[in-house]
Amino acid sequence: MDEVAAAKAALNKVLPYVTSAADWESPRPFTMNMVFTWQGLRALGLPKNDLDSFPDEFRAGMAARKEILGDSGASDPSKWVAPLGSGDIHIGVIVSSETEKGVRAPLTLAEGLQGVTCIYRIDVGVPPTGREHFGYRDGIGDPFVIGSGASAHPGQDAVMPGEFILGYPDESGSIPPLPGPEVLTRNGSFLAFRQLYCDVAAFRRFLRANARSKDDEELIAAKMVGRWRSGAPLMLAPERDDPELALDSTRNNDFQYFAADPKGLICPLGAHIRRVNPRDGLQDTIVSTNIHRLIRRGASYGPVLPEDVVDDDGVDRGVVFIFMGASLRRQFEFIQQQWINNGDFVGLGTEKDPLVGNNDGTGGYTIPARPIRRHFNGLPGFVSVRGGEYCFVPGLNAIKWLAT
Ligand code: HEM
């Protein structure tokens, strides 16, 4: 059997275990999904015409888009963990479960396959703290996909399904043309996989050096993200943390910016969540926020740095994100380039996202406040890219088609 036939046979074997959206609410021991890089589709023998019809950024791959993504310095693809960004990764398998045992069965199956070789694996999970490494609760803000069958939480923006799934009407009201053969791409999506190192010790040192007290450290941390570390949004808890609000999904997303806080006195204009989802905050500009939304899932890797340690222990730790949407360029890349690594859209010039921007010690961060605003100079980079890949997420029928 040649290599392509062996890989297709492997896909056929895995297919029955790939998670379907049907019966989503029923309990299951694990979920498993498969994604393909452009190189992977090529290796599986997709004809040239079809390969050429995919968007440029997907064909080029994440590493080649480093200028747009701001992946320079410690984040430059030449420093990425091999084989990320090398073009050698063809298929990605995402397995999740609430138990260790749950992930073992599908992984054993995948490892035993002929025709495919596992060249990279990363184990991620939720740390015992229930928070990501910098200490924040994450995974609260996500758009509501119209027609998904779920019910929207108060404050969740309702976004057209074509923004996330190919072959459906998007925010323009029409269905954009599909790339590749329809059987492959209808019901599919694109995904950016991003492995991000978190320099927790540097973040703690920064807070300590700039705060007047422990409480002030928490305030600065909240002003950098737009939520207290508990997850409570500044817009609803401006003065102090509110852990009950943080956990209440009927309230913790129910806020806007435009009328309530035009100058960022409550939630700074440059805070992480206000940048990556400005909600109604740009309504007096030509930017439509809904065309730059993502479905986002993150999980942590590496051990937690013990509380209060401010010296780096040299251990690799961070977050692995998947960002999904119908257009890598208009969604993931736009947010990364225009909103995270640029401040122009809210009049902040060269200021970048204080937590996840590609800061290099030369920039600053401003917290607007009355009577006196606060400004921090020499903002170090707290997050650097360890690697990433652009992938296509086919529907179940499309995987079946790829396997034949
Ligand atoms: C290590 C890097 C990162 C960390 C630690 C981080 C952390 C957080 C935290 C703590 C929140 C608040 C919880 C929530 O609203 O769900 C958040 C929200 C969010 N982040 Fe990040 N983030 C990171 C990178 C990114 C990147 C690279 C993007 C986009 C390209 C992004 C997009 C978002 C979005 C869209 C939200 C929701 C905002 C909202 O709807 O209000 N994040 N992030």
293 and 165 housed in the same domain? no
- Tell me what the mean pLDDT of segment 328-335 comes to: 98
Centroid of ligand 1 to alpha carbon of 166 (angstroms):
24
**DSSP secondary structure, 2-58, as one string:** -HHHHHHHHHHHHGGGSPPSTTTTS--S-EEEEEE-HHHHHHTT--HHHHHTS-HHH
How many domains, in total, are found in the chain? 2
Distance CA 98, CA 28 (A): 10
Q: Let me know if residue 132 belongs to a domain.
A: no
Average per-residue pLDDT for the chain: 95
263 and 309 housed in the same domain? yes
Centroid of ligand 1 to alpha carbon of 273 (angstroms):
6
Q: Point out the ligand 1 atom lying closest to the alpha carbon of residue 134.
A: 5
Distance CA 324, CA 191 (A): 4
Q: Among 133, 255, 272, 282, name the best residue to mutate to test ligand 1's pocket (greatest count of ligand atoms within 8 A of Cβ).
A: 272
pLDDT tens per residue across span 262-284 = 999 999 999 999 999 999 999 98
Q: Pick the closest to residue 287 from 300, 302, 277 (CA basis).
A: 277
Q: Which residue's alpha carbon is nearest to atom 11 within ligand 1? A: 138
352 and 397 housed in the same domain? no
202 and 284 housed in the same domain? yes
Q: Let me know if residue 68 belongs to a domain.
A: yes
Distance CA 138, CA 146 (A): 23
| Segments forming the whole domain that contains residue 70 | 3-122+161-193+389-402
- Is 2 noted as a catalytic residue in this protein? no
Give me the pLDDT at residue 218, please.
98
pLDDT tens per residue across span 350-398 = 999 999 999 999 999 999 998 889 999 999 999 999 999 999 999 999 9
Centroid of ligand 1 to alpha carbon of 150 (angstroms):
22
Q: Which residue's alpha carbon is nearest to atom 4 within ligand 1? A: 356
175 and 255 housed in the same domain? no
Q: Which residue's alpha carbon is nearest to atom 8 within ligand 1? A: 138
Centroid of ligand 1 to alpha carbon of 114 (angstroms):
38
Q: Let me know if residue 142 belongs to a domain.
A: no
56 and 77 housed in the same domain? yes
Asked if residue 1 has pLDDT above 60, the reply is no
Give the binding-site residues of ligand 1, using a 6 Å CB cut-off. 132, 134, 136, 138-141, 196, 198, 225, 227, 272-273, 276-277, 294, 296, 319, 323, 332, 335-336, 356, 383
240 and 184 housed in the same domain? no
363 and 396 housed in the same domain? no
Find the catalytic residue in 71, 138, 170, 353: 138
pLDDT tens per residue across span 232-257 = 999 999 999 999 999 999 999 999 99
Centroid of ligand 1 to alpha carbon of 18 (angstroms):
28
220 and 357 housed in the same domain? yes
